[in-house]
Amino acid sequence: MSDPQIITVPGAVDLHVHLREPSTNKAETISSGTKAALLGGFVAICDMPNNPGSPTWTLDRLQAKQKIIEEKAYIPVATYAGSQPESDNIDELEKMAVSAIGLKLYGGTTTGNDKDYSPADFLTILKKWKQVAPNKPIMLHSGKDNLEEFIKLIVANSGQRLHVCHVNSPDDVHIISKYKKHSLPITCGVCPHHLFMASHDVKSRGWFARMKPPLISQDKAEELLEMLASGQIDIVETDHAPHSIESKMATGEENPEGIDNPSHKTCYGVPGLEFALPLLFYQMRQGRLTLERIIDATSTKPAKIIGLKISGRTKVTWQLKDYRINNEKTQTLSGSGWTPYLGMLASGKVKEVTIGGKTLVRGGKITSKYPKVINAGDEI
């Protein structure tokens, strides 16, 4: 283990978290999730709309969520609007577009959506969004073999900005790169679990290594890390998706074989805000990523995608010291109380956090909060 090192960075922005409030999933709250984010080195996060039992499909629901953020959040939070072919909320899109940071579409199965769609099913939604929010991005969870068709429909045909969430396959990155070459407004993000875990982990970690999209082979995970290092993958997003230990185990099977058997009735998703940056810093100390690329992928580029400005008055100071993730009770802050990264090496503890000139963490301890809903054009 090497010597401690102090670095100060602009603070990370996570475009992909599920804070679960309000919803029937009680494994997280806006308070607990943003606390985990703050001590994970994030200065702004964006909350997804698939709240179990209460998806963010109407202005009322969006505003109810925003009210909790303004009261309880530790750091600024942006909120996405959601729309699905069955949600019947076209008239809500215009109202939500004012304060939502973007529109999330679920084109494939995951928590809150049980089928793969044909991209054409979203035509009416896409048309409306283009009309009411031409500059706000669409965040896509693609489904089985439908990524390229979605890209054609959203970016190539209408020029709307598209961010492809949680890529887990180098082939998908190649497809995205093909469209980027034509200067089309498309970006993609990768999650730490798809970089630092692999399909074999499902054998030992069981349900705690199950998420959508699923883990992939070690070779491919390493290829994704190279694609992140080179900038071919634009950003890192955590897809922090907390579920209680009980609901992850609800199937009653202890050590599921295979990585994506649809007959296994469990919920998909893993928490990740606490360790995203420490896992990346560990790779940096191993020589696989530069600090410059980490800042670009976790701060500069995600902020640019949502139109958020990060001022010089927002920064995070880390003490980089390698450690093992070995105690879920003391090292995790998410309400779910577990981590898929148990046993892995990481580097870095947050020492100071300042957002917009206000100090929130001093000496590793939280001293204040910054509960604010943020939107495109805002500066923190």
Judged by CB under 5 A, the chain residues 85 through 114 that form the site for Zn ion are 110
Q: Assign residue 200 a region: left if phi > 0, alpha if psi is -120 to 50, beta otherwise?
A: alpha
- Least distance to Zn ion, CB of residue 212, Å: 6
Cβ atoms < 10 Å from Cβ of 138:
25
Answer for which of 239, 247, 272, 306 binds Zn ion (CB under 5 A) is 239
By C-beta, is 141 or 285 nearer to ligand NCD?
Answer: 141
- Least distance to Zn ion, CB of residue 241, Å: 5
By C-beta, is 104 or 285 nearer to Zn ion?
Answer: 104
205 counts as binding Zn ion under rule CB under 5 A: no
Q: Binding segment for Zn ion among 118-126, 156-164, 235-243, 362-370 (CB under 5 A)? A: 235-243
Answer for which of 143, 269, 302, 307 binds ligand NCD (CB under 6 A) is 269
In this structure, which long-range contacts are made by residues 88-96, counting pairs with CB atoms below 8 Å and at least 24 apart in sequence?
89/57, 89/58, 90/124, 90/125, 90/128, 92/57, 92/58, 92/59, 93/125, 93/128, 93/129, 93/132, 93/133, 94/128, 94/132, 95/59, 96/56, 96/58, 96/59, 96/62
Q: Which of 276, 261, 215, 266 is nearest to 244 (CA)?
A: 266
Cα(324)–Cα(346) distance, rounded to whole angstroms? Answer: 6
141 counts as binding Zn ion under rule CB under 5 A: yes
When CB distances are held under 5 to 8 angstroms depending on the partner's kind, the choice from ligand NCD, Zn ion, none that residue 332 binds is: none
Cα(283)–Cα(299) distance, rounded to whole angstroms? Answer: 17
By C-beta, is 188 or 360 nearer to Zn ion?
Answer: 188
Find tokens 């609901």 and name the residue: 247
By C-beta, is 138 or 316 nearer to Zn ion?
Answer: 138
Judged by CB under 6 A, the chain residues 240 through 259 that form the site for ligand NCD are 241
Answer for which of 58, 110, 187, 298 binds ligand NCD (CB under 6 A) is 110
50 counts as binding ligand NCD under rule CB under 6 A: yes
- Amino acid identity of residue 259, one-letter, is I
38 and 353 Cβ atoms separated by less than 8 Å: yes
55 counts as binding ligand NCD under rule CB under 6 A: no
Interaction pattern, residues 111-150, with ligand NCD; x per rule: CB under 6 A = x-----------------------------x---------
Is the torsion defined by CA of 203, 205, 207, 209 positive or negative? Answer: negative
- Interface contacts to ligand NCD, rule CB under 6 A: 18, 50, 110-111, 141, 211-212, 239, 241, 268-269
